[in-house]
Amino acid sequence: MNSTINSFLDKFPLFLWLGAFLLAGLLPAWAGPKEDGDAAFKAGKMAEAEAAYTQALAVQPDNALSLIGRGRARQTLGKRADAAADFERAVQLAPAYSEAWVGHGLAHYFAKDLTGALIALDKAVELNPQSARALHNRGVVHDALKDYKAGVVDCTRAIQIQPDFVNAYNERGNAWQQLKDPESALRDFETAIKLDPRNVFALTRRAIIYEARGDKEKAAQEYRFVLALDPKQAEAARHLAALEKAST
Could you read off the pLDDT of 108-127 as tens digits, one per residue?
999 999 999 999 999 999 99
Q: What is the structure's pLDDT at 28?
A: 61
Average pLDDT, rounded, for the chain: 90
Q: What is the mean pLDDT of residues 232-248?
A: 93
Exposed e or buried b per residue across 197-230, where buried means at least 16 C-beta atoms within 10 angstroms of its C-beta: eebbbbbbbbbbbbbeeeeeeebbebbeebbeee
Per-residue pLDDT of 89-113, as tens digits, reads: 999 999 999 999 999 999 999 999 9
Q: What is the mean pLDDT of residues 72-88?
A: 96
Q: What is the structure's pLDDT at 186?
A: 98
How many whole angstroms separate alpha carbon 53 and alpha carbon 31? 10
Q: What is the structure's pLDDT at 17?
A: 45
Identify whether the C-beta of residue 151 lies closer than 8 Å to the C-beta of residue 172: yes
Q: What is the structure's pLDDT at 15?
A: 45
CA angle 19, 76, 66 (to 5 degrees): 30
Stretch among 18-22, 211-215, 218-222 having the lowest mean pLDDT: 18-22
CA angle 137, 142, 146 (to 5 degrees): 145
Using CB atoms within 10 A of its CB, is residue 149 exposed (0-12), middle (13-18) or buried (19+)?
Answer: exposed
User: Above 60 in pLDDT, residue 166?
Assistant: yes
User: Above 50 in pLDDT, residue 77?
Assistant: yes
Q: Indicate the SS3 state at residue 181.
A: coil
pTM of the model: 0.83
3/77: higher pLDDT: 77
User: Above 60 in pLDDT, residue 61?
Assistant: yes
Q: What is the mean pLDDT of residues 226-237?
A: 96
Q: What is the structure's pLDDT at 33?
A: 84
Beta strands in the chain (DSSP E): none
Per-residue pLDDT of 1-48, as tens digits, reads: 443 334 433 444 444 445 544 444 445 665 778 899 999 999 999 999
On the CB side of 9, CA atoms within 13 Å amount to: 25
User: Above 70 in pLDDT, residue 223?
Assistant: yes
How many whole angstroms separate alpha carbon 27 and alpha carbon 36? 14
